[in-house]
Chain A
Amino acid sequence: MPALSGDLVVFTIASLLAIGFALAMVVQKAPVRSVLSLVVTFFGLAIFSIQLAAPFVAVLQVFVYAGAILVLFLFVIMLLNLGQEAAEEDRRPLQKWLGLVAALALGGVLSGAALRAPTPKGMRPPAVVPLADEIPTIGRLLFSDYLLAFEALSFLLLVAAVGALLLSKRRFE
């Protein structure tokens, strides 16, 4: 089936992009380059979201993550002028290796567990929504099943905005 192989090609390209630029994000010394690499990773993740039948989440990921949060990061990096920090001498080689080993071990263990996890294939066809009905379904769920979490979240965002204002206010003495 040509459609299936097309999906596979898109998946391969997106995963290569996502993982490659995530690695670039870790390797880069300059924070600005890290942020820009992460933007590409998030676009790869947005492609995955579309493939996983969640186009609204994909749009949200691009708008909120790439559009708002990472721009905020860039803004702060440029505000603090963190551009090129002097090449730090390696003060803790042991910790560096330990961190690398820990990350590799966790990645291996989690990937192994994910591969071995049973796929819920035998389940009855669940309550699915057509793609066109995705947004109305999300809206209905937000205001019914998840109403309390939604309201708590709106309050959390308000508190976060006020807190950010308070924290970054310059005090004149």
Chain B
Amino acid sequence: MTGTLPGVAPMAVPPAAYLVVGTLLFAIGLAGALLKRNALSIFLSIELMMNAVNLLFLTYARMRGDMAGQMIVFFVIAIAAAEASVGLAIFVALFRARRTVDVDKIALLKW
């Protein structure tokens, strides 16, 4: 294990395959965010989109042999944790006030 240089060793799987999987997951997440009516499910889809982007970052980090991609993934994960805690607290407060988290029924700011 030690001594292997990840940036130098050839990649067994072509990097384009990771990129395609990442973009497909991103598109699936977008579909979920657009099609779901439950606020929690929309939030979940956004988490999936962030993870798809993480995969792209890791792929490019691997292709370039650069640690910056991995560092950005750490920051994305930490920000996702902060976002999840605040977002879920908002949903709990929303549910207490309106008894629903259906985004069609929460239309206070809509025309």
Contact = CB atoms under 8 A, between A and B. Distances in A.
Size band of the interface chain A makes with B: 35 or more
- Main secondary structure, interface of B, reads helix
B27 A34 contact: no
A55 to B, nearest CB: 10
Contacts, number: 251
Interface string A62-76: 001100110011001
Interface string B43-84: 111011001001110110111111100110111011111111
Interface residues of B, number: 79
B8 A163 contact: no
A173 interface: no
A35 to B, nearest CB: 6
A98 B22 CA distance: 22
Contact of B64 (A22, A126, A138, A141): A126
B48 A25 contact: yes
Most B-side CB within 10 Å, residue of A49, A114, A138: A114
B77 A73 contact: no
A48 B18 contact: yes
Nearest to A102: B34
30 contacts: A4-B12, A19-B28, A22-B48, A26-B36, A26-B45, A48-B55, A49-B55, A52-B58, A52-B59, A56-B70, A61-B77, A72-B88, A80-B91, A82-B38, A91-B104, A98-B34, A103-B28, A103-B30, A106-B27, A126-B66, A128-B6, A130-B3, A131-B2, A131-B4, A131-B6, A132-B1, A146-B71, A146-B75, A159-B82, A164-B85
Interface of A: 3-4, 6-8, 11, 15, 18-19, 22-23, 25-26, 31, 34-35, 38, 41-42, 45, 48-49, 51-54, 56-57, 60-61, 64-65, 68-69, 72-73, 76-77, 79-80, 82, 85, 88, 91-92, 95-96, 98-100, 102-104, 106-108, 110-111, 114-115, 117, 119-120, 123, 125-132, 137-138, 141-142, 145-146, 149, 153, 156-157, 159-161, 163-165, 167-168, 170
